[in-house]
């Protein structure tokens, strides 16, 4: 089944929000990426046709944004924030832990295709650093124990209860917050 047949209702809903079709480009690329784990060339061509764009117009947009993948990434994409605010509270150490535990450097994927590691710029969680995003979820105030737990949870169940819920409160120290969690 083609992309546009498979997600017909969702595509119609997205298109209805904008008076100009091209605005639906990023939302549709998200649908395509959710489908395959990355945006395939076929999906790009279909989206171009749907929005009456040329394939280069889709390609020029997709390559501007860091969240779209043009090739497969690991099942769990670990993106560790390395900006100054997280670096001040130890993000380099976190990257080191992950590299040692998984045997991969930033930009690499484990041989089993389960984990990819990236060092990324600010994710707007500076008060709860060091932090990382895995697929759609934030994991904040990372410690080595928490990291071990997260990796083991992901391996066994595909998700982890340590992921952040709605924004954490100010006021508690990192240790107190860890206890609350």
CB of 111 to other proteins, least distance (A): 27
> Does 27 engage in binding with other proteins (CB under 8 A)?
yes
Strand order in the sheet with 132-134: 115-120, 76-81, 132-134, 137-139
List beta partners, residue 115.
Answer: 76
> Does 17 engage in binding with other proteins (CB under 8 A)?
yes
Residue from 84, 148, 152, 181 touching other proteins (CB under 8 A): that is 84
CB of 85 to other proteins, least distance (A): 5
Closest CA to 62 of 37, 35, 38: 38
What kind and span of H or E run contains 133? strand 132-134
Residue from 11, 25, 94, 117 touching other proteins (CB under 8 A): that is 25
Spatial contact of 27 and 67, defined as CB atoms under 8 Å apart: no
How many Cβ atoms sit within 10 Å of the Cβ of residue 160?
19
Residue from 15, 68, 114, 149 touching other proteins (CB under 8 A): that is 68
- Tokens representing 173? 């120290």
CB of 22 to other proteins, least distance (A): 4
Residue from 24, 31, 32, 104 touching other proteins (CB under 8 A): that is 24
Q: Which residue has the tokens 């395959």?
A: 36
Q: Distance between CA 115 and CA 21 in Å, rounded?
A: 36
Of the listed pieces 84-92, 97-105, 110-118, 142-150, which binds other proteins according to CB under 8 A? 84-92
> Does 36 engage in binding with other proteins (CB under 8 A)?
no
Spatial contact of 34 and 10, defined as CB atoms under 8 Å apart: no
Of the listed pieces 98-106, 109-117, 136-144, 151-159, which binds other proteins according to CB under 8 A? 136-144
Give the interface with other proteins as residue ranges (CB under 8 A).
Answer: 17, 19-20, 22-27, 29-30, 51, 60-61, 64-68, 82-85, 87-89, 121-129, 133, 136-138, 164-173
């Amino acid at each position: 089944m083609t992309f546009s047949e498979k997600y017909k209702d969702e595509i119609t809903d997205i298109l209805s929000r904008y008076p100009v079709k091209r605005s639906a480009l990023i939302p549709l690329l998200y649908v395509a990426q959710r489908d395959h784990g990355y945006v395939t060339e076929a999906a790009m061509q279909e989206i171009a046709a749907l929005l009456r764009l040329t394939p280069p117009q889709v390609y020029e947009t997709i390559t501007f944004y860091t969240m779209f993948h043009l090739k497969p990434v690991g099942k769990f994409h670990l993106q560790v924030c390395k900006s100054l605010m997280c670096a001040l509270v130890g993000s380099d150490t976190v990257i080191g832990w992950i590299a040692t535990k998984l045997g991969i450097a930033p930009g690499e994927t484990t041989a089993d295709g389960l984990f990819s590691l990236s060092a990324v710029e600010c994710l707007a969680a500076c008060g709860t650093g060091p932090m990382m995003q895995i697929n759609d979820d934030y994991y904040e105030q990372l410690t080595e124990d928490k990291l071990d737990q997260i990796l083991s949870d992901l391996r066994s169940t595909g998700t982890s209860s340590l992921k952040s819920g709605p924004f954490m409160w100010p006021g508690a120290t990192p240790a107190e917050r860890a206890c609350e969690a």
